[in-house]
Structure 1
Amino acid sequence: MNVIPTPIAGAFVVETRTHADSRGAFTRVYCAQSLAELMGSRQIVQINHSRTTRAGAVRGMHFQRPPYAEMKLVRCIRGRVWDVVVDLRAGSATFLKWHAQELDMESARMLVIPEGCAHGFQALEPDSELIYLHTAFYTPLAEGGLRHDDPTLAIRWPLEPIELSSRDRSHPLLPDDFAGIQV
């Protein structure tokens, strides 16, 4: 596994090799030994799977507040997505900046989203599927969200955003005095 930093402090792209032959292909999805430096004392405690049926659909931007903040490792296992991380950490050099990474099964890349950052994605192909590895359990009272179209963030989505959930449409815009999340 090759760990590549992104412009967002603490966010990484992890490249893995796919071994293919006449039978098909094999890709290592996660390896605690290879990612030990990145993971530190964190452990994967929950794995989620999502399927998004329509190209253009947006899910996110979601995060959990401390003390339930989580690191997420996100991998596309079918289709293609535009995966976005937004830094919400107070005092971070990349505060309120975003980074996007195209993920698909063929490239076998994974995006690592650190604690204190929001995550969302847009399906670029129908029936796109993601696997999320989480370092904290989902805690409804700690969840937060940002609007996909918040002018403060100015995220450039590759397709016209469609099919947002009512929850994602109802997230408030960031207030002018937003100071960030302490992690």
Structure 2
Amino acid sequence: EYQLFEREVISDVSFGPKNFGLSEEEAKKEAEKAIDLVGLGPSYYHRSPFELSGGEKRRVAIAGILALEPDVLILDEPTAGLDPQGEKDMMALFKQIYQSGKSVIIVTHNMELVLKYCQKAVVMDHGEIYKVGTPLEIFQDKVLLDKTAIEPPEVFKVALKLIEAGLPISLKNVSDIDSLVEEIEKVKRK
């Protein structure tokens, strides 16, 4: 969101497409589409990006990238500084972008996000790829966790403790507290 510089959101988002050779009209169309996609809509087109909240600025910055129609979106700590609802909304946006056929790569230290939203995780250690796997594979690898000091999400640790205590829940279905409760209720119903 620190890359915003135009007077209006629509101008900021259409800047990239214009620089890639689109006409003013085509760039504006792409910008409107991208602004709508990130959940801001027409009421934001003519607002100043400098008067928006942090989460709104981040959405405008992402719209600026989406207006370029990339096949791959790489995001570094995209939910940092957002409140829980803002984080949830942002991750729902990335899921929507992924479902539209684009690749979404998120660089994060937030293991709760990794567990809840990621299909695959790449663990880096000293600039090298250490392991590629599902979040479940990563969080169950005690050697990896010790070597890299990755701390699994609390809900995952609680689920492991419940399994150790004899509760036959399925770790593959646990991604957040609600899904853990659901797993416990399934076991109780049996």
Scaled by the length of structure 2, what TM-score is found?
A: 0.23
Higher strand share: 1
Normalized per residue, the structure richer in helix is 2
User: Quick check: which has more Rg, 1 or 2?
Assistant: 2
Higher relative contact order (CA 8 A, sep 6+): 1
